[in-house]
Structure 1
Amino acid sequence: MITSVMRVGDTAAIGLDDLLLDLSGLKIGDAVRVQWSEEGTLVVTPLGRPASRQELAASIRRVSRAAESAPDA
């Protein structure tokens, strides 16, 4: 996914599409840790409770359906 940094009030934000939110288990308002690695990579780590097996299974099903219906690139 290619996105851009956007101005939101006095801060900056990076938009994530629904697929990345599903894969990561993130929801709007969830806390994340953002770190800069020595290799030059920005790392975003979800904080809080781990996803349940049911949540993970539902996310995998949504991603699988999205991948099956996506046009070939």
Structure 2
Amino acid sequence: MRILWMKDGFCSYCGERFVDQQWPRRCGNCDNLTFRNPIPVVVVLLPAFSGLVVVRRGVMPHAGKLALPGGY
């Protein structure tokens, strides 16, 4: 038996249940904005010497933090 009310009913960032059922959904706990448009992406694990190549994010969320190179 499939329970439809649970599908996409929780924040993928913190796990809090969504109160507002309209899209896009904003989490009342962590303020994360969730859209209902799955988009395929590519992430690259590029070895360099004894580590991996990383980039510093220039946009929100998490601007200034390290991330793996990737894109649409």
TM-score of the superposed pair, with normalisation by structure 2: 0.22
Rg comparison, structure with higher value = 2
- Larger helix proportion, structure 1 or 2? 1
TM-score of the superposed pair, with normalisation by structure 1: 0.22
